[in-house]
Amino acid sequence: MDKYYLRNEIKKLEAELWNLKVKGIDVLGYNQRFQELALLCIRMFPGESDKIERYVGGFPDMIHSSVVASKPKTMQEDNEMATELMDKKINTFAERQAESKRKLEDTSRNNQNQQQPSKRSPANANTSSNQRGNGAGQKPTCYECGV
């Protein structure tokens, strides 16, 4: 490292490693970059447990505590656990979105199937088909007696 990298370049790589986090759901990309940086900054991790601790530190909160609770002893175990947990979270999220979409579609379908009550216009409300109008302001004529 000292032969091929300048000291300030090594410091930049170490800073990147300390600040490395999973972006979105890209655990595989995180794993790959972590491994690359860990190989270049080997003196940052005197033991495997130090490396695992830093690796787990880059996980989002939703899986961090679960991975820590499993107490992985190797990077391989840690990697598998993180990938599995992230996959479960993604599947759960996708299922929830699909369920919400189904509920929304059902609701809109039910609203379309309900017929709207017919509204009578106020002008037609006072007239009836069995009434005869004799002019403005006059009462209708009776069918039976003609009055």
The number of distinct structural domains making up the chain is 1
For the chain, give percent helix, strand, coil, nearest 5: 65, 0, 35
pLDDT, the chain, mean: 75
Q: Does 49 map to a domain?
A: yes
Report pLDDT digits (tens) over 32-51. Answer: 899 899 888 888 888 888 88
CB distance 74 to 53 below 8 Å = no
98-119 per-position pLDDT tens digit: 787 777 777 776 666 665 555 5
Expressed as residue numbers, the domain containing 79 is 7-98
Residue 85: inside a domain, yes or no? yes
* Residue 147 domain-assigned (yes or no): no
Residue 58, in any domain of the structure: yes
